[in-house]
Amino acid sequence: ASSTWRNVAQGPPVRITEAFKADSFDKKINLGVGAYRDDQGKPYVLPSVRKAEDKVIASRMNKEYAGITGVPEFTKAAAVLAYGKDSSALDRLAITQSISGTGALRIGGAFLARWFPGAKTIYVPQPSWANHAAVFKDSGLTVNKYNYYSKDTLGLNLEMMLGDINAAYPGSIFLFHACAHNPTGVDPTEEQWKKIEAAVKAKGHYAFFDMAYQGFASGDVDKDAFAVRYFVSQGHDICLAQSFAKNMGLYGERVGAFSVVCANQSEKARVDSQIKILVRPMYSNPPIHGARIAAEILNTPELYEQWLGEVKEMADRIITMRALLKENLEKLGSQHDWSHITNQIGMFAYTGLTPEQMDQLAKEHSVYATKDGRISVAGITSENVGRLAEAIFKVKG
């Protein structure tokens, strides 16, 4: 009998997690996961999140639907966190709650595909978070790449990046990682952002910011929002995808927001109505529980202060692990310059190791990460950093 799905092709397996699970070595290290781990290597629920959740549960709210654009106490506070409490953008901002950062990018992609007046082409950095290209392609945009990272310096290739911004068809869309670039951990400095902004403006391009790590990069939520706020201050009506997966550790709760800076109230009302028209046939309205937790934190002064401290603790642990990894490699006698490990920022380090060396790390040392040489610094602990450095030293020298 012929089957209905006989033409469905097998997709590629998700290899790292499977190989890690199959490895029976008790000191195996998983540096493939994109989630924070504490210094014992365990998933971490922020104490401020526990407190906020207890308050939400104790208040015994009903479970009615949120509106199409979500829980207003959450979206208002999310906008203030991103744009700053004195931002001129706040009262002309169309914002909707989203299914975390990915959902925000998807709503953004769909909105631009339907309404962006220029070329429906979005440029994403090379390399970028692997899902960017897929999300934007499925949203109906054409996806192109711009140069970002230099394999020679293991840092930003500003000259080529600016060259690509200049060469792109005027009025194109550019996707920027607001901070903690994934996968490279390489961010422009504030001076470099100013040059990038000038180039974007000169060509009439449109800036789409993905801010999945606010506070998680430097430990300071305002510093991490520099690029977003700078572009707005220079007159760009940007759009923005926000995620609370990393900075609040709300991964599975799927808390995020998508916002568009508009020119005025009338534009805001029209954009808002079109966002609702996009969201309604996708999922009607977003889940409420995680948004209530985030709103409780953002709107309660003591909880907010506590949360800022906890974000900084996570960021600092990651910064410390970077330093320890570099130190351990140097102690072993490695002659390579490992300063990129400590210059980079955020959850991921781009080691510069080749796919072959990454294979060797897995097969011979039970250290698992993606082939592109990206390791999740969140998976490093005081306990395993020594063995990790030895493994890297053995495969790379």
**Site for ligand PMP contains 210 (CB under 6 A):** yes
**Site for ligand PMP contains 101 (CB under 6 A):** yes
**Site for ligand PMP contains 102 (CB under 6 A):** yes
Q: Quick one: which segment of 25-33, 94-102, 314-322, 365-373 binds ligand PMP (CB under 6 A)?
A: 94-102
Of residues 269 through 288, those in contact with ligand PMP by CB under 6 A are: none
Q: Residue for token digits 């631009």?
A: 112
Catalytic residues: 129, 210, 246
Closest approach of ligand PMP to the CB of residue 182, in Å: 4
**Site for ligand PMP contains 245 (CB under 6 A):** yes
Which is closer to ligand PMP, CB of 250 or CB of 262?
Answer: 250
Q: Quick one: which segment of 24-32, 45-53, 99-107, 147-155 binds ligand PMP (CB under 6 A)?
A: 99-107
The only residue of 243, 306, 351, 381 in contact with ligand PMP, by rule CB under 6 A: 243
Which is closer to ligand PMP, CB of 129 or CB of 304?
Answer: 129
Whether 217 and 180 have beta carbons less than 8 Å apart is answered as: yes
**Site for ligand PMP contains 53 (CB under 6 A):** no
**Site for ligand PMP contains 182 (CB under 6 A):** yes
Closest approach of ligand PMP to the CB of residue 104, in Å: 8
Q: Quick one: which segment of 21-29, 100-108, 201-209, 326-334 binds ligand PMP (CB under 6 A)?
A: 100-108
Which is closer to ligand PMP, CB of 293 or CB of 329?
Answer: 293
Closest approach of ligand PMP to the CB of residue 130, in Å: 9
Total residues at interface with ligand PMP (CB under 6 A): 12
Question: What does the H/E/C string look like for the chain?
Answer: CCCCCCCCCCCCCCHHHHHHHHCCCCCCEECCCCCCECCCCCECCCHHHHHHHHHHHHCCCCCCCCECCECHHHHHHHHHHHHCCCCCCHHHEEEEEEEHHHHHHHHHHHHHHHHCCCCCEEEEEECCCCHHHHHHHHHCCEEEEEECEECCCCEECHHHHHHHHHHCCCCCEEEEECCCCCCCCCCCCHHHHHHHHHHHHHCCCEEEEEECCCCCCCCCHHHHCHHHHHHHHCCCCCEEEEECCCCCCCHHHCEEEEEEECCCHHHHHHHHHHHHHHHHHHHCCCCCHHHHHHHHHHHCHHHHHHHHHHHHHHHHHHHHHHHHHHHHHHHCCCCCCCHHHHHCCCCEEECCCCHHHHHHHHHHHCEECCCCCEEEHHHCCCCCHHHHHHHHHHHHC
Closest approach of ligand PMP to the CB of residue 225, in Å: 15
**Site for ligand PMP contains 74 (CB under 6 A):** no
Of residues 109 through 168, those in contact with ligand PMP by CB under 6 A are: 129
**Site for ligand PMP contains 96 (CB under 6 A):** no
| Residues near ligand PMP (CB under 6 A) | 34, 100-102, 129, 177, 182, 210, 212, 243, 245, 256
